[in-house]
Each structure stands twice: as C-alpha cells, then as structure tokens.
Amino acid sequence: MFSEPSAPEASHGAPLVLFNSLTRATEEFRPIDPAMVRLYSCGPTVYNFAHLGNLRAYVFTDTLRRTLNWKGWATTHVINITDVGHLTSDADAGEDKMEAAAQAQSRSIWDVAAFYTDAFKADLSALNVMSPSLWSVATDHIQDMIAFATALEARGSTYRLDGGLYFDTTTVPDYGRLAGSRPDETIGRIADVEGKRHPADFAIWRSSPPGVVRQMEWQSPWGPGAPGWHLECSVMSLKYLGAQFDIHTGGIDHREIHHCNEIAQNQAYNDSAATGANLWLHNNFLVDRDGKMSKSKGGFATLSGLQDRGVHPLAYRLLCLSSHYRSELEFSTDALAAALVRLKRLVLAIGQLKDKAGPLPWLLPALEMTATRGASLAFQRATIEAPLGDKARALVEAFDAALSADLMTPQALPLLDEALTMKSLDAEERLRIAASFDMALGLNLMTVDRRALAPRPAAAILTAEQVEAVLDRRRTARETKDYGTSDALRDELVAGGVDVMDGDALRWEWRPLL
C-alpha cells in the first residue's frame, strides 16, 4: 500500500461534517486511521482537454484535501488517469472514448493519452491544485484488473457473454443504493447487449469482437480485450488505499452509475456489504445556459482558453470557491470577471498590508508550508497563528467552522475579507490570518504578483508595454486638457482590446476587454 510518513498528534478544531451521498445526510468525519486519511478521486478520461466543469471537480477535491491538512490530518490522495475503458455512454454502451478520439485525430491512443494527461496536469498546476500522492494510470494496472475480475468470477458474481465478462448486479446487497434508485429504475438497458440478465449489469471485461484488433487490447481468460471503466477504480483504490478507505470523490454524474458499479465490485470482491469508502462525496456541475458543461457538446470552455482571453486561472479557482461544491455553478463571463476583480482586490489589500507591516520574518516559512502537507502543515499553521490575539483567533475559529460545515467556502471567503480590513488588528496580524486561510483556499494570495493577474490575451494586438506607452501619451494629453486626443487614444486602446479604467479603486489603469 502507498503511504506518506505518518503524522504526529494534531489538533482538528471544529468537528468536520461532510455530506455523504450514500446516506444523503451530513456526517461527522472520523478517519479510519487518524494518522493518515485516505482519499480516492476519479480522474479524467484523457481523450481531450479538460473543460472547466471537469476542473471544478478537482478544485473541489483539492479544497477537501487542503481543509483536512489545514485541520491537522495527513492525507494520502490517489487520482487515477483513465486511458482505457470509458465508453461514450456511462450506461455501458457505445465506443471507448479513447479509441474514438484516437481515430478522429489520426493518432495512436498512447499519444492521445500522453498529450491530454500532460495538459490536464498543467491545468491543475495553474489552478494551484496540489499533486496527488499518486497518479495511478489505468493501463499500468491491467494485470491487477484481470486478477480482480478472475476473483469476481470465482465468487460467482459474473457471467460470460460474447461481448465479455459481465457483472451480475443481483449478487450484491442493495445495488444502486448510492444512486437512490431501485434496481428496476437504473439507467442501463437490457436490450443493449444480447444475453444481459438485468438492466444494470455491466461489462467488467470487454472482449474484442472476432476479427477486430483494438489498438489497446490485452490477453485475458475471456479472450483478448480491454477492461471496463468501473473495474479500474475498484482495483486501483483497493491496491493503494485498502479495501475500506475514508473518502471517495467524483462529479455528481458518477453517483448514478460509475460509483454504484464500483461499490458492487468492491462488495463482491471483499465479500462484504461495506462499500469500499466510508464517505462518497460528489461535486455538482458547472453549467452554462445549455446545461451541464460537457466535452460531447463541443465548443466547451477550457482553462487555457480563459488564459488566452487574459483571465488568470486563479480567478476561476476563486469562482469555484465562491459557490458551495454541492450547488450548481453557473459559468458566465460576468461571473468570471467578478471573480477576477475579487481576486485583484484581495491581492491589492495584501500588498498594501505588506507595505505597512515592514519585514515579515515568518512569511518565508509560511510560503514554504504551502508546499507541505498534513501534520507538518498544521505545525506551520500553529506557528503562524501563535502570536494572534483573541479577536484574530475568533476569526480563525469562524473560518474553521465554515470549512468544517461541509466545506462551506462561500462563508469562509468573506471572513478573509473581514480579516484584511479589520481595524482592530495590526497589519502583521491580518497578514498572518491571510497566510493561514490561504493554506486552505489555495489562492496563492501571499505570493501572486499583482501584475501576473493581468495576463495579455493570446490574440492581443498590443503588448503590455505598448498599452503603457499609449496611456503615458494619454496622461500627458489630459494634463494639458487636450480631451480630444485623450479620447482618441482611449478609442485606439479599445480597438486594441483594452478597457481603460480611469480612477479604478483597485488602481488598475486598464484591463483586457473580456
């Protein structure tokens, strides 16, 4: 089993309460092993760029993990990379998404997987999402999957069809409990596959049709073929986190089929009614006017697309934090622009406090701590917070209470605003609070350079220097009351995609037009 060094005694503050999709109720979190919380998150299917909706799922898991760390728990976090097995319909029908993408792009599946895995990791790093303890790649675990499926067959939980090895969902207790549906209401359809016994049954091994050689296929007791998507997550979570671990996460679409099937496999393999994870947590969707943001709709929004338009990725992280992870979040240019302004305001306030406070010898370890985790992070946090007085401490407690109430980030964020502006605290105290809160929020507030918040759009006609030069000429024109020239220069900037912001409270003279 994979594990990080275990944690010394740490304080956990307010009781952490999380919403468990299994019981549809909030529950107090009690780790199986207090020295090491074990988390598994379903990872991306790497057939295309992640869209902003996919990335919301990982901002959520990162917030969960940071909150656990901030509260003093060490974590082992596994995220998988699905590079085989995910079909175009979650209900076990259609083509393999990877196979279809490779064909459409005339590239090998391996190239497609490598390219989009790198792109995904770059997106997470731009969003300041911590790397997991382990990335587990599905195709590196094929033999483990075959062994697992063989064990399920030996236990009588499967049946063979021409299409492969199928899981019989009636062999486990309470199939579909997570989805909250009765077995006869499940999304799968019996008609999809000849010989399928029950609508919800699913393939755990998909045999290659006679005469067809798939780009990705392996020998198995059921002939050459490829594993089913659901099998991967059961196998990799078992291998790295054990038969029963603490928390399993994914988007809410996984609650209906994928996680029900994982649970069924876990139960069959372990010969137990236990589901594999104590808590199943699901983030709600990022939606646009047409509904759930999804790749299949085409024209989806990516993080690099935002960056190309001059929006800093952390503005998107802040947008995610501004809503609760279980609420739908509506994506719009206006909402994003508002998040960017909020981020700029926070960074400006911190810059001003830094000017006021003078040297901050504790800041260096504070920055270092954002790269550390678990109990060591809690130790650094305790060091930073040690000199805080009662008023400041009350704010920290309120922040803890907000995060501990099922990660209520929309309530936690205003406490940061309050801390930054609280007159009864001196500049250094306010900065200590901000540094502590940001360990959980992950907005890089203590380090992000104010100028970096205004990246130039990819299609920008003018460089930042050219914009500054025109603004200089405009300033001179205004000083001499030559408003005609001043207006003409403003129009020139607008034509170049630049919005001039005279008298901006946040002291930004210009920004790209979104």
Residue where the block lists tokens 């587990």: 136
Tell whether residue 42 is among the known ligand binding residues: yes
51 is in an annotated binding site: no
Out of 296, 355, 386, 424, which residue is the one contacting ligand ATP (CB under 6 A)? 296
Helices (H) and strands (E) in the chain, counts: 16, 18
294 binds, among Zn ion, ligand ATP, none (CB under 5 to 8 A by kind): ligand ATP
Which of 55, 146, 233, 493: binder of Zn ion (CB under 5 A)?
Answer: 233
Q: Report the residue number, 42 or 286, with the smaller CB distance to Zn ion.
A: 42
Minimum CB–partner distance for residue 61 and Zn ion (Å): 12
| Angle subtended at Cα 85 by Cα 81 and Cα 87, rounded to the nearest 5 degrees | 115
Distance, CA of 139 to chain centre: 22
Check the annotation: does 194 bind a ligand.
no
C-alpha–C-alpha distance, residues 73 and 392, integer Å? 23
User: Mapping DSSP to helix (H, G, I), strand (E, B) and coil, where does residue 163 land?
Assistant: coil
Question: Quick one: what does residue 233 bind among ligand ATP, Zn ion, none, with the CB cut-off 5 to 8 Å set by partner type?
Answer: Zn ion
- Chain residue whose CB lies nearest ligand ATP: 251
Closer CB to ligand ATP, residue 54 or residue 436?
54
* 42 sits near ligand ATP (criterion: CB under 6 A): yes
Q: Dihedral (C-alpha) 161, 234, 272, 192: value to the nearest 10 degrees?
A: -30
**Total number of residues shown for the chain:** 514
- Binding flag, residue 78, ligand ATP (CB under 6 A): no
Asked if 84 interacts with ligand ATP (CB under 6 A), we say no
Q: 313-321 vs 52-70: helix axis angle to the nearest 10?
A: 70
Q: Does 294 sit near ligand ATP (CB under 6 A)?
A: yes
Residue 22 near residue 178, CB atoms below 8 Å: yes
CA dihedral 155, 159, 165, 168 (to 10 degrees): -80
- Interface residue with ligand ATP, options 31, 163, 228, 250 (CB under 6 A): 250
Compute how many residues bind Zn ion; rule: CB under 5 A.
Answer: 2
Task: In whole angstroms, give the CA distance from residue 402 to residue 492.
Answer: 47
SS3 at position 247: strand
Looking at the DSSP bridge assignments, the partners of residue 78 are 40, 134
CB neighbour class for 28 (10 Å; exposed up to 12, middle 13-18, buried from 19): exposed
Helix, strand, coil percent values for the chain (each to nearest 5): 45, 15, 40
Binding residue per annotation — 77? no
Q: Considering only 3-11, 53-61, 232-240, 430-438, which stretch makes contact with Zn ion by CB under 5 A?
A: 232-240
Q: Per CB under 5 A, does 277 bind Zn ion?
A: no
**176, 251, 442, 455: residue in contact with ligand ATP (rule CB under 6 A):** 251
Pick from 73, 148, 285, 325 the residue near ligand ATP by CB under 6 A.
Answer: 285
Does 42 engage in binding with Zn ion (CB under 5 A)? yes
Minimum gap (Å) between residue 431 Cβ and ligand ATP:
34
How many angstroms separate the CA atoms of 258 and 253, rounded?
Answer: 8
Least Å distance, CB 48 to ligand ATP, is 8
Single out the segment in contact with Zn ion by CB under 5 A; choices: 27-35, 36-44, 61-69, 415-423: 36-44
Q: Is 178 one of the binding residues for Zn ion (CB under 5 A)?
A: no
317 binds, among ligand ATP, Zn ion, none (CB under 5 to 8 A by kind): none
The DSSP code sequence of 403-443 is HHBT--HHHHHHHHHHHHH-TTS-HHHHHHHHHHHHHHH--
Which option in Zn ion, ligand ATP, none does residue 225 bind, with CB closer than 5 to 8 A by kind? none
Q: Phi and psi of 427, rounded to 5°? A: -55, -40
With CB cut-offs between 5 and 8 Å by kind, which of Zn ion, ligand ATP, none does residue 53 bind? ligand ATP
Determine whether the annotation assigns residue 260 to a binding site. Answer: no
What separation in angstroms does the CA of 393 have from each of 47, 385, 387, 396, 399?
Answer: 47, 8, 10, 5, 10
Tokens 């000429």 — which residue? 473
Footprint on this chain of ligand ATP (rule: CB under 6 A): 42, 44-45, 51, 53-54, 56-57, 86, 250-251, 253-254, 283, 285-286, 292-296
Binding residues for Zn(2+): 42, 233, 258, 262
Footprint on this chain of Zn ion (rule: CB under 5 A): 42, 233
